[in-house]
Amino acid sequence: MDTTIDVKSFAPNGKQNGYNGKAKMINRKIKYESELSSDFKETIAELAHGEKLYGCIQCGTCSATCPVSHYMDYTPRKIIQMVREGFRDDVLKSSTVWLCASCYSCTVECPKGIKITDVMYALKREAISAGYFPKRFPTPVLAENFFAQVLNNGRNSEGPLLMKMYMKTNPFNALKNTMLAFRLWKTGRLTLKTEHTKDRKSLKKLLGSIDKQKEALAK
């Protein structure tokens, strides 16, 4: 529903006076209620273990205390309001959730006890399942592979995990860190093998029972 107008068409005789040859865009920014999803806040509240985010008073303490908020496209305060008002797509496409370093400052400072870091995790999970993240962005790739490894093997093996991450994001970065990897391997800090627990069947059963419990709770 977005309309984009190329400002070039306003320039007389096709010349781009004052625009240095670069076209500037005017974007429609109005939000229709029908573009929003009203159940988004419930999804996130459920994932983040708490409905406290409904009680946000928009004081901005989270944004002010966040060490990386100045790099984010929406500050944490704005994210909470957007979640509450159902701006699903804008939130999931934002860089904010991926820049969150999980330092928990916001959660500690929040006057309404909102677990903002948990909200960020919930949003990351939603973004991943919706496929809303830059394809070669390391954070979601690492997260996805980390969980896949732990769930399958019961163990985390740094070497294969890193290799997978580099291959999926930027393989050249792997070359940059070869020396560091070598030194870590030499001191026994890095394994190149995929490790796993002895009894993978029991692990599957264990994790499966959690899922069952969740399903039962959901009912």
77 vs 124, which CB is nearer to another protein?
77
Q: Give residues 39-68 in contact with another protein (rule: CB under 8 A).
A: 41, 51, 54-58
Give the per-residue SS3 of 57-115.
CCCCHHHHHCCCHHHCCCCHHHHHHHHHCCCHHHHHCCCHHHHCCCCCHHHHHCCCCCC
User: Which residues, 80 to 99, sit near another protein by CB under 8 A?
Assistant: 81-82, 84-85, 87
Report in angstroms how near the CB of residue 139 gets to another protein at its nearest.
24
Contact 194, 145 (CB under 8 A): no
- Contacts with another protein by CB under 8 A: the residue count is 22
Q: How far is the CB of 28 from another protein (least distance, A)?
A: 10
Q: Which of 23, 24, 26, 31 binds another protein (CB under 8 A)?
A: 31
State the Cα torsion 182-188-193-196 to the nearest 10°.
-150
How near is the Cβ of 38 to another protein at its closest, in Å?
7
Q: In the complex with another protein, which residue's Cβ is closer, 29 or 70? A: 29
Nearer to another protein, 29 or 198 (CB): 29
Separation CA 14–CA 129 (nearest Å): 45
Nearer to another protein among residue 91 and residue 162 (C-beta): 91
- Phi and psi at 162, nearest 5°, equal -65, -40
Q: Which residues face 6 on adjacent strands?
A: 25
CB-nearer residue toward another protein: 60 or 171: 60
- Residue at token pair 């029972």: 209
Written as one letter, the residue type at 103 is C
Q: Which amino acid is at 191?
A: T
Residue 197 lies near another protein (rule: CB under 8 A): no
Residue closer to another protein, measured from CB, 74 or 121: 74
34 is an interface residue for another protein by CB under 8 A: yes
Helix (H, G, I), strand (E, B) or coil at 4: strand
Residue 144 lies near another protein (rule: CB under 8 A): no
Helix (H, G, I), strand (E, B) or coil at 6: strand
Query: If you ran DSSP here, which 8-state letter would residue 170 be given?
Result: -
172 near another protein, judged by CB under 8 A: no
**Helix (H), strand (E) at residue 94:** none
Q: Which chain residues interact with another protein by CB under 8 A?
A: 29-34, 38, 41, 51, 54-58, 77-78, 81-82, 84-85, 87, 112
